[in-house]
Amino acid sequence: MLKKDNFWVGVILAVILCGLSIGAIYLCLHLLNCSINDNAKLFLFAFVPDILLLRYYAKKQYSKATKGLILILVFGFCFLLYFLNFIGGLNFSS
């Protein structure tokens, strides 16, 4: 599945990797008895596997799958910034 140059393959893999990363981070926070509101910036690490997959696809010159990955990365990052701003984790007016 990694060797297909298809837009939807990139989107599906990005969503799966990001979901697994968010789940792993949430599980670690839960096991350490930490609050999501106090450690919300740790969820930025959920994009690392997607960025590594983006590098792989860009190096192999799979342009369609790369576009799908970029779409999910941009929307996911914008949603995370909105979430962090909503809970007060970011202060844009400093």
List average pLDDT for each run of 10 residues in the chain, which is 94 residues long.
84 94 92 83 89 92 92 92 76 60
pTM of the complete model: 0.81
pLDDT at 35: 81
Contacts of 41 by beta carbon, 8 Å cutoff, 6+ apart: 84, 89
Distance CA 89, CA 36 (A): 10
